[in-house]
Amino acid sequence: MVPDRAFNEFVLKFANVNGSGSASANLLCAKALFRMGLPVSPKNIFPSNIQGLPTWYEIRVSEAGHLARRAGIDVMVAMNPQTYARDVAEIVPGGTLIYDSTLRRDFGREDIRQIGIPIAGLCADAWSDLRERQIFKNIVYIGALSWLIEIDIDIIEQLIAEQFKSKPKLVEPNFKALRIGYDYAHAYIDGRLSVRARKSNGTAGKIMISGNEAAALGAIYGGATVAAWYPITPSTTLTESFERHAGRLRRDNNGMLRAAVIQAEDELSAAGIAVGANWNGARAFTATSGPGISLMSEFIGLAYFAEVPLVLFDIQRGGPSTGMPTRTQQSDILACAYASHGDTRHVLLIPGDPGECFTFSADAFDLADRLQAPVFVMSDLDIGMNDWVVDELKWDDNRRFDRGKVLDAAKLEAVSEFARYRDVDGDGVPWRTLPGIHPGKGAYFTRGTSHTDTGKYTEDGVVHAAMLDRINAKFETAKSLVPKPVTRILSSKSRLGIINYGSTDLAVREAISLMGREALGVNHLRLRAFPFSDEVADFIGRHDFLFVVEQNRDAQMRHLLIAEAGIAAEKLVPVTNYDGFPLTAQFLVDAIRSAIHRDTRIADASAPPLTAASMGQPR
C-alpha cells in the first residue's frame, strides 16, 4: 500500500499512442519535477513504429535517490484504450488511474482511485483544429497532474517558454492547455492524490541528460573530427547529437566545420570510413547497435590486425537478429569482446550512466590511439536514449589528447630504422607514421594480410605467430590503462558479492540496500572495462560466491570472467534478465533469494550467515 501523502517517492506512468505528441509533454513533466529539485528517472518504453502502436513513459521520483526502474505504478495516466487492461493492472492498490472520461467506463478495480477527466471533450471545446485538439490533450493532462500531485505550474510554464523560444506563437496555446487541465482538476476533482511532489534540493549540481548526447559531447571533447554512421536505433541520436554540437562548437574563423559527419550507405562503409580516417590521423568513430556490429566485424578485425585506432559506440538493444530494436539489453558483450574472425580480442569500456558516457567517450579516443586498436564503448538503450540525472559534466582544461606513439617528421629524422610493427618499448605498442609526413622515411604498407614488422607481406608462420603474440601483448598493457572497477566493501567479513556492469547499477544498489534490511551482507563490484584489471580478480578472490548480474540470457560477462580472469565457474552465480526492460531492484532481490534458497552454501557465505528462514521468500 502506498502510504498517505507519500511525498517525492512514487512512479508515474503515461500510456499513450505512438505519434500522438505525448513524448514531449511527458518529458516536460519529468523536467518540471527535476526543476523542483527532485531526482527523477524517466524511461521511454517505445515501440518500433512511427504512429499507432502503444507507447509508455515512466517517471520514477525518488528523493532518496533510488532511480532504477520500479514496477508497481502509483499514478497511471491511461490515454490509450488499446492497453487499458494491462495499464490498469499495473497500478498498485491504493494507486490512482487518470483517464479520458469523455467516454466513461468501469475499470473493475475497487482498490484504486479512478479519476476521469473529459480530456478530449475539453480540447474539442477549446480548439476547432483537429490537430490541435489531439496534440493539446497531452498538455491538458499535464495541467491536471500539476494540480493533482502539486507539480509547480510556474516551472512548467517556464519550461514551455524555454522550449518554444524560437516559436513564440506556440507558447500561449500550450499555456492555455495547461490551464484547462489544471483548472478542471482544481474545480471538479475531490482532493489531490495521496502521492505528491514537494520542492527539494536533491538536484543541486545535477543535470538531466541522455547517454547518447553525453557520449557525443565526449567525442567532441575528445577531439573526434570524423563521424561515420548508418541510422540504427538506439544509436542514431548519438551521431545526430555529435553533428548538432559540432555545428555549434566546431567552427573555425570562417565558419567552416572542424568536423565531418558522413551518413554512410551501411555499417560496413561507416566502419571503413572510421578506419580510413583514423589511419590518416584524424580521430574518428562510428556509433551503432548489435546488427551494425555484426556488419562491421570484418573491418574490426582489420583494425585489430593492421593496428589502426578505432572507436566504436555500441548502444546495445534486444537481440538476436533484429530482436527488440526499441528495448534495452547487454547482449553484445561477447560479440564485441571477440569481434571478427581469427584470434581477436578487444578493449571494452562500459559506462554505467551518461556521466561515464561522457568521460569514457573522451577516454576511448586516447586509448584507441595509445593502443592502436579498436576500442568499444558499450552503452545500451536505457543509458543511451533515456534522460538520466547525473552530476554536471566537467572537463579538465589542462588535459591534452594522448595521440599515442606517432612519429612526426622530426622524430622520424632521429630514428635510424622505422619498423611500423616492431615493439621497441616492450609494451607491445609499436610506433606509427601518418601518410604524407616525410619525403623519404616512414612510408609503410598497411594490410590485413600477414606482415613482417616492417609491414611487408609474409607467409612465414613463425613471423605470423610472433605478430599475433605481440599484438596480444597490447592487451596486457591495456589492463592498466582502462577504467578500474568501482568496488564497495559493505561487509568486510562477508564472502558474498555482486558483480554487475553498465545500466544495471542503480537497480543493484537499490537491491543491496533492500537486502541490507534483511541483514544480507554483500559486497559490490561494478565492472567498467574489459580487459579486467587486477582489482577484479582480487575482489573475486576475497569472496566465495558472486552474483553476476547482467541483461542477457547466456550470462556473457560471466563467460568472460571465467575465460579471461580464470575464475572458477561455480563461484559465479548468474543472475540474468533479458525481457528488454531496464532492471528493477525487486527482480534482483527475488533472484538472489531464489539462489540462496537453492544453495545453502551461498547463505553461509553472507556475513552474518543467513538461514533460509531469515531471508524473505522470493515472490
Partner 1 sequence: MTHIVKPAFHHPALPVNACGLTHRDYEGVVSTLCAGCGHDSVSAAIIEACFELDIEAHRVAKISGIGCSSKTTNYFLDRSHGFNSVHGRMPSVATGANLANNDLVYIGVSGDGDTASIGLGQFCHVIRRRLNMVYLVENNGTYGLTKGQSSATNDKSAKNRKGVENRYEAIDLAALAIELGAGFVARSFSGDKAQLVPLMKAAIRYRGFALIDVISPCVTFNNHAASTKSYDYVREHNAALDTVDFVPPEVAITVAYDAGSTTEVTLHDGSALRLHKLADDYDPTDRAAVLPKLQRHKAAGEVATGLLYLEADETDLHGLIGTCAAPLNSLADQDLCPGNAALGQINASHS
Instruction: Judge whether 244 and 430 are in contact, CB under 8 Å.
Output: no
Contact letters (x/-) for partner 1, 35-74, by CB under 8 A? x---------------------------------------
119 lies in the site for partner 1, by CB under 8 A: no
Please identify which residue in 61, 119, 197, 259 interacts with partner 1, judged by CB under 8 A: 259
Q: How far is the CB of 280 from partner 1 (least distance, A)?
A: 4
How far is residue 511's CA from residue 522's CA, in Å, rounded to a whole number? 10
Closer residue to partner 1 in complex, CB, 42/272: 272
CA quadruple 140, 151, 66, 355: dihedral positive or negative? positive
456 lies in the site for partner 1, by CB under 8 A: yes
Please identify which residue in 125, 457, 465, 579 interacts with partner 1, judged by CB under 8 A: 457
341 lies in the site for partner 1, by CB under 8 A: no
How far is residue 314's CA from residue 277's CA, in Å, rounded to a whole number? 19
Q: Going edge to edge, which strands form the sheet with 545-550?
A: 486-488, 523-527, 496-501, 545-550, 572-576
* Helix, coil or strand: residue 558: helix
Q: Which stretch binds partner 1 (CB under 8 A): 5-13, 266-274, 477-485, 575-583?
A: 266-274
458 lies in the site for partner 1, by CB under 8 A: yes
Q: Determine how β-strand 486-488 pairs with β-strand 523-527.
A: antiparallel
Q: How far is the CB of 28 from partner 1 (least distance, A)?
A: 15
Backbone angles phi, psi at 448, to 5 degrees: -90, -10
CA terminus-to-terminus distance, the chain: 16
Closer residue to partner 1 in complex, CB, 393/514: 393
Closer residue to partner 1 in complex, CB, 4/397: 397
Segment (H or E) for 54:
strand 54-62
Q: In the structure grid, which three cell numbers stand for residue 577, read together?
A: 534478465
Q: What is the CA radius of gyration of the chain?
A: 27
298 lies in the site for partner 1, by CB under 8 A: yes
265 lies in the site for partner 1, by CB under 8 A: yes
Beta bridge partners of 390: 207
537 lies in the site for partner 1, by CB under 8 A: no
Q: Which stretch binds partner 1 (CB under 8 A): 45-53, 168-176, 261-269, 528-536?
A: 261-269
27 lies in the site for partner 1, by CB under 8 A: no
463 lies in the site for partner 1, by CB under 8 A: no
Q: In the structure grid, which three cell numbers stand for residue 150, read together?
A: 502539486
Q: How far is the CB of 451 from partner 1 (least distance, A)?
A: 9
415 lies in the site for partner 1, by CB under 8 A: no
Residue reference for cell 594490410: 447
Q: Which stretch binds partner 1 (CB under 8 A): 179-187, 322-330, 451-459, 563-571?
A: 451-459
Q: Which stretch binds partner 1 (CB under 8 A): 123-131, 221-229, 467-475, 584-592?
A: 221-229
Instruction: Judge whether 12 and 29 are in contact, CB under 8 Å.
Output: yes
CA quadruple 457, 463, 466, 468: dihedral positive or negative? positive
Contact letters (x/-) for partner 1, 378-407, by CB under 8 A? --------------xxxxxx--xx------
461 lies in the site for partner 1, by CB under 8 A: no
Please identify which residue in 41, 44, 80, 269 interacts with partner 1, judged by CB under 8 A: 269
231 lies in the site for partner 1, by CB under 8 A: no
Report which of 241, 510, 506, 524 is spatially closest to residue 388, judged by C-alpha positions.
506
Please identify which residue in 272, 291, 292, 352 interacts with partner 1, judged by CB under 8 A: 272
* Alpha carbon of residue 352 to chain centroid: 7
Please identify which residue in 47, 54, 223, 616 interacts with partner 1, judged by CB under 8 A: 223
How far is residue 424's CA from residue 15's CA, in Å, rounded to a whole number? 61
466 lies in the site for partner 1, by CB under 8 A: no
Instruction: Judge whether 559 and 532 are in contact, CB under 8 Å.
Output: no
How far is residue 346's CA from residue 362's CA, in Å, rounded to a whole number? 18
Q: Which stretch binds partner 1 (CB under 8 A): 47-55, 61-69, 99-107, 448-456?
A: 448-456
DSSP, residue by residue, 521-547? --EEEEE-EESPPHHHHHHHHT-SEEE
Q: Which stretch binds partner 1 (CB under 8 A): 102-110, 148-156, 242-250, 314-322?
A: 242-250
Q: Which of residues 595-614 bind partner 1 (CB under 8 A)?
A: none
Closer residue to partner 1 in complex, CB, 99/221: 221
Closer residue to partner 1 in complex, CB, 188/457: 457
Q: Which stretch binds partner 1 (CB under 8 A): 21-29, 148-156, 319-327, 453-461?
A: 453-461
How far is residue 356's CA from residue 336's CA, in Å, rounded to a whole number? 19
Please identify which residue in 106, 190, 252, 417 interacts with partner 1, judged by CB under 8 A: 252
Q: Which stretch binds partner 1 (CB under 8 A): 56-64, 370-378, 440-448, 491-499?
A: 440-448
Q: Which of residues 179-218 bind partner 1 (CB under 8 A)?
A: 203, 206-209, 217
459 lies in the site for partner 1, by CB under 8 A: yes
Please name the residues in contact with 399: beta carbons below 8 A apart, sequence gap of 6 or more: none
Q: How far is the CB of 223 from partner 1 (least distance, A)?
A: 4
447 lies in the site for partner 1, by CB under 8 A: yes
Please name the residues in contact with 592: beta carbons below 8 A apart, sequence gap of 6 or more: 511, 515, 520, 547, 575
Kindly report the number of other CB atoms within 10 A of residue 619's CB atom: 9
How far is residue 253's CA from residue 408's CA, in Å, rounded to a whole number? 27
Q: In the structure grid, which three cell numbers stand for residue 402, read together?
A: 594522448
